[in-house]
């Protein structure tokens, strides 16, 4: 298709003539049929709601079609309105726009819907099964037209994918404000999502799906590498690192697939069990896992060889994780690091495959005998924990990987609690990400080169490395390890070949790193060295972006881990300090109703205005969370917020006075 046709289609919005009817493309992955939750009256409402996007003369044709979609898929996706042109992160100059900022947002949004990247592209789902960019194709078409037409004196308002419209604003305001899944708190159970989404009035945006900030698997590889590296540091006696040490886990799926690659980058022997043969083959063909084994004895022999040679290698066990753990005990294999990344946030519908059943038997049982299946899952979890406990008693460091493993094992009656009722094992945020990264302001900073040229990305890598090397020379000892890790990551980023879709890079950095890197990019754009604007952003899974009591804020111990002031404050604060777009979501990672998370996008165009905005906004975007973590008495955060106040006298944060535990305990002593 010619470029002009692509641009014409964007500017067309809802077509004046009905496109031919369309069915889902059988060659693509599709969202599962959603549960039929609407009453007959609510079904009428859902169809009436969907018809709001179209001229009345089309209603007699579209109404029965939408009714059929609702019956067949549980949702009205409006398949016939899918655009003819390919959706992907083309060069910014290909998009039609009046505002460069809005053009860059089109590019980011298109990357999230690219059929080569999105999980269920025709249902507008980017990742995580239900992480949506829009609810239907009418929303996509109207939004992209608004973006093409808007100026820097307007703001586009999106309510859960619905383009409410363009409202007059000003040049320093965000071009787009996104809210996803915002509901009255008492209406935030999973079935509320099913109902509101089926009605076409709300959606689950995950973290980077509905905020247009998804950059494919690269994001998760970096976070996983940092987690494994730091887990290794928790167990090392000297400075020996992870060479010859074993990291064992399960899952080679969407996020869990990063474990094998992360383990190798961290220098360990990664052994990951995956029950689904198709998933194992996919990860192997992508080069994410080195070797596949379906025989446990052969695998054990290979592990021994790798240990002896201190090889950094990833080995997939095609089978059940429980069998793998039990084999390690039988063979007396010492495991240094262990975790689990089955999808236990969804235990009864395919997230966890119980031991003793084949993959096919499980699929059959979960659909036809759900109660029996539930009992099998719970029995399997008990076996798994028994094995993990034995290996932990021998010295293995085990951590929960944000997948609700401890929660579901506890519910299954597994031996997972200490005497005080707390879990025997910590989560990766409690032990690793929180105290080692978030409390110091290190988080998943990222950028995208809108020229879509790899050479621009190479240059940004180089600039970022130089900036970090400069900062590292004066960094305090508290963060020198993080600095070294990040310099290593960025220096190897290109050869690790992780770009899929937009020319994007992730780099964990603190406030100083993020700000100095962004300023250096802006200057390089101004000097014509980088050939187009650069978009800055981050995962919502960050220092300040997310309130999630069992994940991002699980290392907050003052009782405030169930509050969501930080995420809300963050997005409001970003919006008036220069963000190009902001987003705030209910749900993301751990589920609807379980988390509030927000983020931003910022376009650097080489201007002085961009310099001003980046300095002001990034400072808030990191220090908000550090201040809150410090107020919760987290040591690293107290260190960091005091340091931030020294470097910027305009920052004045309320810091806690730490009460003496003896004094408090004495009040309740019965002696």
- From CA 324, how far away is CA 183, in angstroms rounded? 43
Tell me if 77 sits within 8 A of 136, measured CB to CB. Answer: yes
**What CA dihedral angle connects 523, 529, 534 and 536, to 10 degrees?**
-50
CB 592 to ligand NAD: min, Å: 13
Tell me if 306 sits within 8 A of 353, measured CB to CB. Answer: no
- From CA 406, how far away is CA 647, in angstroms rounded? 41
Based on the number of CB atoms within 10 Å of its own CB, is 665 exposed (0-12), middle (13-18) or buried (19 or more)? exposed
Nearer to ligand NAD, 273 or 627 (CB): 273
Tell me if 126 sits within 8 A of 118, measured CB to CB. Answer: yes
CB 230 to ligand NAD: min, Å: 13
CB 358 to ligand NAD: min, Å: 12
CB 519 to ligand NAD: min, Å: 29
Tell me if 198 sits within 8 A of 38, measured CB to CB. Answer: yes
CB 648 to ligand NAD: min, Å: 32
Look up residue 659 and give its DSSP letter.
P
Nearer to ligand NAD, 79 or 328 (CB): 328
CB 253 to ligand NAD: min, Å: 2
Bridge partners (DSSP) listed for residue 599: 583
CB 494 to ligand NAD: min, Å: 22
CB 546 to ligand NAD: min, Å: 11
Nearer to ligand NAD, 345 or 446 (CB): 345
**String of DSSP letters for 287-333:** TSSSEEE--HHHHHHHHHHHHHHT--EEEEEES-HHHHHHHHHHTT-
CB 231 to ligand NAD: min, Å: 13
Please identify which residue in the block is written with the tokens 């990305």: 457
Nearer to ligand NAD, 180 or 227 (CB): 227
Nearer to ligand NAD, 160 or 403 (CB): 403
CB 206 to ligand NAD: min, Å: 10
Interacting residues with ligand NAD (CB under 6 A): 220, 223-224, 250-256, 258, 273-276, 279, 320-321, 341-345, 351-353, 401-403, 589
Inter-axis angle of helices 40-51 and 59-73, to 10 degrees?
A: 130
Nearer to ligand NAD, 82 or 120 (CB): 120
CB 371 to ligand NAD: min, Å: 19
- From CA 633, how far away is CA 583, in angstroms rounded? 28
Nearer to ligand NAD, 127 or 631 (CB): 127
CB 224 to ligand NAD: min, Å: 5
Inter-axis angle of helices 137-149 and 100-113, to 10 degrees?
A: 160
Q: What is the distance between the terminal CA atoms of the chain, rounded to a whole angstrom?
A: 83
Contacts (Cβ under 8 Å, ≥6 apart) of 222: 444, 489, 506, 507, 508
Tell me if 336 sits within 8 A of 247, measured CB to CB. Answer: yes
Nearer to ligand NAD, 408 or 456 (CB): 408
Tell me if 540 sits within 8 A of 599, measured CB to CB. Answer: yes
Q: Which residue is nearest to ligand NAD (CB)?
A: 253
CB 323 to ligand NAD: min, Å: 8
C-beta contacts of 5-9 below 8 A and 24+ residues apart: 5/84, 5/85, 6/85, 6/86, 6/94, 7/94, 7/95, 7/96, 9/83, 9/84, 9/85
CB 167 to ligand NAD: min, Å: 35
Nearer to ligand NAD, 578 or 589 (CB): 589
Evaluated on CA atoms 331, 335, 341, 347, the torsion sign reads: positive
Nearer to ligand NAD, 259 or 624 (CB): 259
Distances, alpha carbon 45 to alpha carbons 4, 65, 182, 191, in Å: 38, 15, 20, 17
Inter-axis angle of helices 218-235 and 480-492, to 10 degrees?
A: 140
- From CA 189, how far away is CA 172, in angstroms rounded? 37
Nearer to ligand NAD, 54 or 401 (CB): 401
Nearer to ligand NAD, 273 or 530 (CB): 273
CB 254 to ligand NAD: min, Å: 3
In Å, the largest CA–CA distance within the chain is 84
How many Cβ atoms are within 10 Å of 279's Cβ, its own excluded? Answer: 19
Bridge partners (DSSP) listed for residue 445: 507, 538
Nearer to ligand NAD, 255 or 493 (CB): 255
Bridge partners (DSSP) listed for residue 507: 445
- From CA 655, how far away is CA 195, in angstroms rounded? 44
- From CA 505, how far away is CA 487, in angstroms rounded? 13
Nearer to ligand NAD, 463 or 595 (CB): 595
Nearer to ligand NAD, 206 or 522 (CB): 206
CB 345 to ligand NAD: min, Å: 4
Nearer to ligand NAD, 74 or 354 (CB): 354
Tell me if 218 sits within 8 A of 507, measured CB to CB. Answer: no
- Single out the residue of 241, 236, 219, 194 nearest to residue 75, CA to CA: 194
């Amino acid at each position: 298709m010619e470029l002009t046709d692509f641009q014409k289609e964007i500017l067309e919005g809802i077509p004046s003539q009905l496109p031919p009817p369309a069915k889902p493309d059988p060659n693509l992955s599709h969202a599962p049929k959603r549960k039929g939750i609407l009453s007959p009256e609510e079904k009428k409402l859902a169809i009436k709601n969907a018809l709001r996007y179209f001229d009345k003369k089309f209603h007699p044709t579209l109404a029965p079609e939408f009714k059929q979609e609702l019956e067949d898929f549980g949702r009205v996706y409006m398949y016939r309105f899918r655009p003819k042109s390919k959706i992907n992160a083309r060069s910014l100059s290909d998009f039609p726009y009046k505002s460069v900022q809005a053009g860059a947002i089109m590019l980011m949004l298109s990357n999230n819907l690219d059929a080569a990247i999105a999980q269920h592209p025709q249902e507008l789902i980017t990742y995580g099964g239900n992480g949506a960019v829009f609810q239907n194709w009418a929303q996509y078409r109207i939004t992209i037209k608004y973006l093409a037409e808007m100026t820097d004196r307007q703001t586009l308002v999106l309510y859960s994918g619905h383009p409410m419209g363009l409202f007059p604003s000003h040049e320093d305001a965000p071009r787009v404000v996104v809210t996803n899944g915002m509901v009255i708190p008492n209406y935030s159970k999973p079935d509320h999502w099913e109902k509101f989404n089926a009605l076409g009035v709300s959606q689950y945006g995950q973290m980077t799906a509905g905020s247009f900030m998804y950059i494919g698997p690269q994001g998760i590889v970096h976070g996983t590498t940092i987690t494994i590296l730091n887990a290794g540091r928790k167990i090392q006696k000297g400075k020996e690192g992870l060479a010859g040490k074993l990291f064992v886990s399960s899952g080679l799926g969407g996020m869990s697939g990063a474990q094998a690659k992360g383990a190798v980058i961290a220098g360990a022997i990664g052994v990951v069990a995956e029950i689904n043969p198709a998933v194992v083959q996919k990860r192997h063909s992508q080069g994410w896992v080195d070797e596949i084994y379906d025989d446990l004895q052969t695998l054990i022999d290979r592990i021994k060889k790798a240990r002896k040679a201190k090889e950094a290698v990833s080995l997939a066990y095609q089978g059940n994780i429980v069998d793998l753990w039990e084999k390690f005990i039988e063979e007396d294999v010492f495991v240094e690091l262990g975790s689990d990344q089955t999808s236990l946030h969804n235990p009864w519908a395919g997230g966890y495959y119980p031991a003793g059943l084949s993959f096919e038997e499980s699929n059959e049982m979960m659909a036809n005998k759900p109660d029996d299946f539930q009992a099998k899952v719970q029995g399997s979890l008990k076996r798994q924990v028994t094995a993990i406990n034995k290996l932990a008693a021998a010295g293995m460091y085990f951590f929960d990987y944000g997948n609700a493993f401890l929660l579901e094992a506890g519910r299954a009656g597994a031996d997972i609690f200490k005497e005080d009722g707390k879990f025997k094992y910590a989560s990766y945020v409690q032990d690793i990400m929180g105290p080692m990264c978030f409390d110091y302001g290190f988080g998943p900073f990222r950028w995208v080169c809108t020229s879509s040229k790899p050479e621009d990305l190479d240059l940004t890598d180089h600039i970022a490395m130089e900036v970090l090397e400069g900062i590292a020379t004066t960094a305090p000892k508290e963060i020198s390890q993080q600095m070294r890790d990040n310099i290593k990551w960025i220096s190897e980023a290109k050869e690790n070949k992780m770009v899929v879709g937009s020319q994007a890079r992730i780099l964990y950095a603190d406030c100083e790193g993020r700000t100095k890197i962004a300023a250096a990019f802006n200057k390089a754009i101004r000097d014509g060295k980088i050939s187009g604007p650069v978009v800055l952003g981050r995962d919502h899974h960050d220092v300040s972006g997310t309130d999630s009591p069992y994940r991002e804020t699980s290392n907050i111990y003052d009782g405030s881990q169930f509050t969501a002031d930080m995420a809300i404050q963050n997005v409001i604060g970003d919006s008036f300090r220069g963000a190009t777009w902001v987003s705030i979501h209910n749900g993301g990672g751990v589920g609807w109703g379980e988390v509030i998370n927000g983020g931003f996008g910022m376009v650097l165009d080489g201007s002085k205005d961009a310099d001003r905005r980046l300095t002001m906004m990034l400072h808030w975007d990191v220090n908000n969370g550090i201040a809150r973590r410090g107020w919760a008495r987290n040591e690293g955060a107290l260190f960091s917020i005091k340091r931030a106040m020294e470097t910027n006298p305009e920052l004045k944060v309320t810091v806690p006075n730490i009460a003496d535990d003896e004094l408090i305990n004495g009040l309740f002593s019965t002696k």
